[in-house]
Chains A and B, each alone.
Chain A
Amino acid sequence: MTDSTAASAVEGFDWRPLATLVLVGLVFGALVGNAGGVALLGALAGAVQGAATWAVLDRLVPGNRLIGRLIAAALGLVVGLALSGATGAALGTVGGVILGWLHYWIARQGYRSGLPPYASTGQVIWHNTFLFICGAIFFFLIAPILTIIPLSFNAEDFFTFTPEMLAFDPEGYSLKHYRDFFTNPDWQQPMWNSIKIAPMATLLSVSLGTLAAVGLSQSHVPFRRAIMAILISPMIVPLIISAAGMYFFYSRVGLQGTYLGVVLAHAALGIPFVIITVTATLVGFDRSLTRASANMGAGPVRTFFKIQMPLILPGVISGGLFAFITSFDEVVVVLFVGSAGQKTLPWQMFTGLREQISPTILAVATILVVISIALLTTVELLRRRSERLRGMSPG
């Protein structure tokens, strides 16, 4: 293998890009064609596209990468468009971009980048396999979330990519599921319930959780481990057990089916997250700072808010974020502890999914994904800012 590679390199003709491009084009074309029932035609077109991409990139414009890539994408667009209209054009362009990138990756030995020049063939293969596995895991995690986004713009009332959608026909898309979400009381009521419940539950979890974590980090507290274990238990006990227990207990004390009951239940679920994150930040907290503060005449409360709190704030915030998401996402406990008047968004999504598969659920999911991304980004930016202000490197 190495010998023949060397030999072809000596002859000045590198056959590997051509072979790879034709092979990848063949497989990709066959897969795409198969979806449309014309696997053979697709395979053939893919192979031709692969060969053509190689010819143009290797022979006509060997120097300029950017132009080469654009040409590769354009080639795919033309081949796809000729075969099956708009859908084909989109898929063809994707194929073209992949082929263009692949060409340079092989011809310019892109697979060796990031490795020392003396790396052996085995090391190169392992390095790239590793990258591939990472990519596959990433894809596995993100693909289900990405599919729902285009589906939420469906013009029909089903979870189906219609032929109009695949052909990028504007008729196939609509905002009606978003309109439904914002106008239908069946969705608006749960949304406001969630908005009322989650922040209160978060506030309770954060205050109680932070206090507990600060207290439990003091070495003189007796039975620290046992108390910790009990406080963490809502996270470990199966949710359905906690929910059933809360249901019967709250029914007896008259909290079942009330706003306060749901808030308390969600706070109980959120507290472990706050305790864990705050305890983790407290590990790196320098106790001599509180002693210095006390030495200068500050009371424990003042010391906590002026000295300790700012330093453990990142832990408090991320714990609070987890508590918020727990309450906002939670369906099992609220089904038990809440009554119809406290129906939250996840509850409505759960029954909606069971009783009628309406894409409004996808619209809601898309909105929630966007909100989650915005929340996480904000928190991350805040964290970096505070670290910068304190002169630490933005980690």
Chain B
Amino acid sequence: MKLKTLMLLTGAAVAATPALAQEMADEMTLVSWGGAYQESQQKAYVEPYLEMHPGVTATWDSSSNEAVAKLRAMAEAGNVTWDLVDVVASDAIRLCDEGLAMEIDFDEMLEPAPDGTTASEDFGDLIVSDCFIPQIVYSTTFGYRTDMVGDTPPTEVCAVFDTETYPGKRSLEKRPINNMEWALLCDGVAKEDVYDVLETEEGQDRAFAKLDTIKDDVIWWSAGADTPQLLADGEVVMGSTYNGRLFSVIEEQDQPVAMLWDAQVFDLDGWIIPEGLPEDRLNRVLDFVRFATDTQRLADQAKYISYGPARMSSAPLVSTHAELGIEMAPHMPTDPANATNTFLYNYEWWADYRDDLDAKFQAWLAQ
């Protein structure tokens, strides 16, 4: 034990020696969501980076779903094996609060925009946590079967609660976030009042009462791939999922499905760097992340998946799909035509109420 401490101390001393020619590790373990999203990251910036740095290898771990729990366990075991972790904004906030993610100096660590705008200005409002480097804006929205809605395709989100005009099952995510908001919106609450109403006991009951009206017609999903599968099966008439999944169902798989962009809920996804990486691994990751989040790379990612780049300067560079050759801009959740009515997800509100509402939601489900 004594020997180990001594070694650690020497290690720290060596690491603390300033500017030791930037020792960099040759291996990176990147954590992401698997599927088409991880593929887009691989193509847009991991492959180009590895080409520029032969001898470096990158390994993917598709564990973003349980990233918070795993990072806690790793910190406890004193053995952090991940170098860069892709998480949604709310997870990043939690990890940052618990000290499991490293704080980012945006202007220092990230590339400025081509016109010289600093990174922190380029990302702007999307910097929702000190530890979180945003990559994409995605939205949770509804898709519907075009062949199951008759001659009147739904145009607004409240069609989900209208089982008379649109009979059949619908799929909703098995958690209160988004569903509570949509329920209140369709119960006549104004958009700006939703979280005020949801704060009260009566407001929560009101949302559950609205959800009660369709409870028997709901199939609850927990993985992003569920709704596309259910839609392709014709098992549900409409269902919520991430907009990129629906893009793939519609454009790549040619299923009779269309988007219902109304009241789409924006969310962010991005990188965090685990706290306490050894010096050489940290240097490698910082070098990679500077490259992977520059203006061009974020725009490139949109060639492979229909998520909006998080930098303002990337938007004009978004081009066509790498394989299908179609314009990607109209498929972005941030496209003006799609974003006529959007809903802003309130991170802070949910950070305070999540545990409480999760419990109530589970109890309501079990009723």
Contacts and interface: CB of A to CB of B under 8 A. Distances in A.
B229 A158 contact: yes
Contact of B73 (A159, A247, A339): A247
B34 interface: yes
Contact of A355 (B77, B225, B253): B225
A263 B226 CA distance: 34
Contact of A256 (B65, B81, B253): B81
A248 interface: yes
A225 interface: no
B256 to A, nearest CB: 12
B34 A339 contact: no
A340 interface: yes
Interface in B31-73: 33-36, 59-63, 65, 73
A248 B76 contact: yes
A252 B65 CA distance: 25
B176 interface: no
A189 to B, nearest CB: 9
Contact of A248 (B65, B77, B223): B77
Of the listed residues B29, B65, B229, the one surrounded by the most CB atoms of chain A closer than 10 A to its CB is B229
B78 interface: yes
A195 B105 CA distance: 44
Nearest to B57: A341
A387 B33 CA distance: 52
Contacts of A257: 79, 81
Given A251-B77, A252-B77, A356-B35, A340 B232 contact: no
B224 interface: yes
Interface in A329-365: 339-341, 343, 351-357
Nearest to B62: A351
A156 interface: yes
Interface in B255-311: none
A354 B232 contact: no
Given A339-B61, A355-B33, A160 B77 contact: no
A340 B35 contact: no
A157 interface: yes
Contacts of A356: 34-36, 224-225
Contacts of B226: 357
Given A158-B253, A247-B73, A355 B62 contact: yes
Given A160-B229, A251-B79, A355 B73 contact: no
B233 interface: yes
Contacts of B29: 339-341
A351 B229 contact: no
B225 A156 contact: no
A159 B229 contact: yes
B46 to A, nearest CB: 13
Nearest to A159: B229
Nearest to A343: B61
Contacts of A354: 34, 65, 223, 225
Contacts of A339: 29, 59, 61, 81
A340 to B, nearest CB: 4
B351 to A, nearest CB: 25
Interface string A153-190: 00011111000000000000000000000000000000
Nearest to A347: B62
B229 A357 contact: yes
A247 B36 contact: no
A340 B58 CA distance: 10
B77 A247 contact: yes
6 contacts: A158-B232, A256-B81, A339-B29, A339-B81, A353-B223, A356-B35
The 8 residue pairs across chains A and B that have the minimum distance between CB atoms: A355-B34, A251-B77, A340-B61, A356-B35, A251-B79, A158-B232, A355-B35, A357-B225
